Amino acid sequence: MSDALTDISRSERISEYCRELIKAEKDFFINPSDENLKSIYCTCDALLGCHGGYWGENVGFANKIKEHYEKRFDGKEGYIINSEDIAYFLNWINKDYRLIELTDLLTRAQPRVSNNNYYDDLNENLEYVYNNVSVKAHERIKNNITGKELGDILKESKILKMLPTNYKKWFDF
């Protein structure tokens, strides 16, 4: 049995690896490469190496994420990201942060053409997304969704217009 400070430290480490995994997945979506796929695997392995925590976190989801990417991409050339991959990514994230992470992904996919810094663009995009995604659609995103449902929500709310053409293929059906 460990003391509370040790457990809190473990919880912080788990939280940090979760943030790294979210970033690694978004990096892979924006630039699908062996290096970015390996980063996902390494972060999943790091999470699986964490034991215990103050809040009793279960890090088993990292194994499912790693298995998903292995099944989808190992041994294949020319990684093609689709809406199911984006939906799978969103579904493991805390439901209250899914729309924010989706908006961050869409913002990162946009070319840097304005004089704004990244965070100004992100804030503008968040405002746009929250103003255009209906309450009903937001609730659908909070539940586990399929890639088709996600694509439909983005089309209905005209959010796909935020994406450059080369990333719109994520949501082609």
Q: Of 144, 36, 149, give the one whose Cα is nearest residue 90.
A: 144
Q: Where among 26, 57, 80 does a domain terminate?
A: 80
The structure tokens listed for 124 are 């503008």
* pTM: predicted TM-score of the whole model, two decimal places: 0.87
27-52 per-position pLDDT tens digit:
999 999 999 999 999 999 999 888 77
- Do residues 64 and 132 share a domain? no
- Do residues 108 and 165 share a domain? yes
- Do residues 71 and 126 share a domain? no
Q: Where among 48, 63, 80 does a domain terminate?
A: 80
Domain of residue 85 covers: 81-173
Q: How many helices (H) and strands (E) does the chain have?
A: 9, 0
- Give yes or no for residue 173 having a pLDDT over 80: no
- Do residues 23 and 43 share a domain? yes
Predicted pLDDT at 69? 95
Q: Where among 80, 95, 128 does a domain terminate?
A: 80
